Amino acid sequence: LAKGARINQPNADALSLDESAISGGISLLGARLEGTLRLRGARVAGEVLLAEGTLINAPMGSAVVVAEATLGALRLSAATLHGQLDLTGATISGAVALESATLAASPLMLTALEASRLRAAQGLRLRDTTVAGQIRLDGAEIGDALVLLNLTVSPAPAAASAAALADPAGLLSLRGTRVADALRIRKLSLPAQAAVDLRGAQVGTLEDEGGAGWGRHARLRLDDFTYTRLAEPPRNKRAARRARLEFLLRQYPGGRPRAADFSGQPFTQLAQVLRATGHAEDADWFARARRRTRRAAGVSERPLGTWADNLVGFFFGDFYSPRRTLVTLALFLALGMGGLWAGNLQGTLRNAQADAEACWLTEELQTLAVADKHIPVPNAPAAWEMARMAVDLALPGIPLHWAERCEVADGALAWEWARRLYQWLGTALLLLAAAGLTGLFRRD
């Protein structure tokens, strides 16, 4: 239908192609339809194109119905729809592009673009488009990228703003949507207190200008929203961290978390992505931000308290960093070796085979001059033996028999308690390290 074409069927079907099979495409170039364009269940091998000022006016219902249809591609360019665009359950082998278009829901509907369960193999783009009404992409499968660029969304004109904003879906709903490549958000404009529902959405790359691409006013519902990488990670920059933190806090009304609606999953998801992509410091920063937000929301602390939680984080990191765990165990081993050597120098440790002798004789060892004193330093064989003994003492339930050479002299009660404390601490550290590194337990 070229420019100048007119079909007038107000409140009815202007052009019905339901269940049709078309080997080519459909083009409306500047045409004007008073009524609904219907393609429900149709099979169109080519592109459905609405461009060059095409106007479809169906104020009492749907302007274009492509539900359950199979199309080669769909493009709206400089077109205006007064009525709903219904893409429910459609399968489109190419791209879906709405560029410089205007969509407005009818007075009987809150939704201007209904695309639940849409399957678009080559992506979905909404660019320089104005939508009056909700956009619903619940359960859609986008094969390439989902691009929302310079998109302005407002409540349906005939619906009360309060009613539209109070709807559970919000003005933009991506609940359960799966995007294979990237979700690109830039210059999204929504009214104050409007909601973007991202619950359960799965995205390859989140590209949202560091969190600023969602506009200034929209509230974000982020529970179970997952992505594998960020296009703009904070990279240890304070301003970038704060911007991303603001993105997370927008899941709460006014950015102020409360115990009733606190959810730590968005914080954990972000920290996991940052750690997996090599930004460990940023991951730790957001894990700490999660705990600060949790306390600010008034959520009860863990049974062991904040101090124990911080102590575990000091030794192992927020997500049990392998490097920090190995450093902790190495320092613990060094502590045991130092204690054994100090006990040997003080005469508290005795050779089990010769009670009158120390475990390691120090007469012929190298000495270290400290404050006019010469402190013997263990040689390599003695250090290796002390390391084995320290490991044996830290594992009281495993019969390694590496600590049988030395025993505590009679009357050295303090050293006996120190040995037991070392065993208890070693057992706790090893269990925490094993549980954390295997994924059985996570600090967050």
Q: What is the pLDDT of residue 443?
A: 58
Q: What is the pLDDT of residue 273?
A: 93
- What is the identity of the amino acid at 11? N
Cα angle, residue 169 at apex, residues 37 and 114 outer, rounded to 5°: 15
User: Is residue 159 pLDDT above 90, yes or no?
Assistant: no
Q: What is the pLDDT of residue 166?
A: 47
Mean pLDDT within 208-221: 88
Stretch among 5-14, 101-110, 187-196, 254-263 having the lowest mean pLDDT? 254-263
DSSP code, position 189: B
Q: What is the pLDDT of residue 439?
A: 63
DSSP code, position 46: E
User: Is residue 95 pLDDT above 90, yes or no?
Assistant: yes
Q: What is the pLDDT of residue 410?
A: 66
Instruction: Identify the residue with better confidence: 25 or 166.
Output: 25
Confidence of residue 11 (pLDDT cuts 50, 70, 90): confident
| Percent of the chain topping pLDDT 70 | 86
Mean pLDDT within 206-233: 91
- 3-state class of 6 per DSSP? strand
Both structure tokens of 349: 């440790």
Confidence of residue 362 (pLDDT cuts 50, 70, 90): low
Confidence of residue 80 (pLDDT cuts 50, 70, 90): very high
The strand pair at 111-114 and 32-38 is best described as: unpaired
- What is the identity of the amino acid at 252? Y
Show Cβ contacts of residue 135 under 8 Å, excluding neighbours closer than 6 positions: 111, 112, 113, 115, 126, 153, 171, 172, 173
Q: What is the pLDDT of residue 123?
A: 95
Whether residue 199 contacts residue 164, with contact meaning beta carbons closer than 8 Å, is answered with no
Whether residue 198 contacts residue 171, with contact meaning beta carbons closer than 8 Å, is answered with no
Instruction: Identify the residue with better confidence: 273 or 170.
Output: 273
Segment of 88-97, 307-316, 385-394 carrying the highest mean pLDDT? 88-97
Show Cβ contacts of residue 170 under 8 Å, excluding neighbours closer than 6 positions: 134, 194, 195, 196, 197, 219, 221
Query: By C-alpha distance, which of 65, 165, 58 is closest to 108?
Result: 58
Mean pLDDT within 59-85: 94
User: CA–CA separation, 263 vs 259, rounded Å?
Assistant: 9
User: Is residue 374 pLDDT above 50, yes or no?
Assistant: yes
Q: What is the pLDDT of residue 26?
A: 96
Concatenating the DSSP letter of every residue in 231-278 gives SS--TT-HHHHHHHHHHHHTTSGGG---GGG---HHHHHHHHHHHHTT
Q: What is the pLDDT of residue 235?
A: 86
Stretch among 124-128, 133-137, 203-207, 296-300 having the lowest mean pLDDT? 296-300
User: CA–CA separation, 105 vs 62, rounded Å?
Assistant: 8
DSSP code, position 216: S
Cα angle, residue 61 at apex, residues 57 and 62 outer, rounded to 5°: 70
Q: What is the pLDDT of residues 237-283, one digit of tens each?
A: 899 999 999 999 988 887 788 888 888 889 989 998 998 898 988 98
User: CA–CA separation, 214 vs 204, rounded Å?
Assistant: 18
- What is the identity of the amino acid at 88? T
User: CA–CA separation, 136 vs 125, rounded Å?
Assistant: 14
User: CA–CA separation, 156 vs 134, rounded Å?
Assistant: 7
CA–CA distances in Å: residue 380 to residues 16, 362, 366, 393: 90, 13, 11, 20
Stretch among 117-121, 251-255, 310-314, 340-344 having the lowest mean pLDDT? 310-314
Q: What is the pLDDT of residue 303?
A: 55
Whether residue 43 contacts residue 70, with contact meaning beta carbons closer than 8 Å, is answered with yes
User: Is residue 135 pLDDT above 90, yes or no?
Assistant: yes
Q: What rounded mean pLDDT belongs to the chain?
A: 85
Whether residue 92 contacts residue 63, with contact meaning beta carbons closer than 8 Å, is answered with no
Mean pLDDT within 92-111: 92
Mean pLDDT within 382-386: 83
User: CA–CA separation, 247 vs 323, rounded Å?
Assistant: 30
Q: Answer positive or negative: Cα dihedral of 281, 286, 289, 290.
A: negative
End-to-end CA distance of the chain: 60
Mean pLDDT within 92-97: 96
What is the residue whose two structure tokens read 């030395």? 406
- 3-state class of 420 per DSSP? helix
User: CA–CA separation, 119 vs 93, rounded Å?
Assistant: 8
Whether residue 423 contacts residue 391, with contact meaning beta carbons closer than 8 Å, is answered with no
User: CA–CA separation, 324 vs 241, rounded Å?
Assistant: 23
Confidence of residue 345 (pLDDT cuts 50, 70, 90): confident
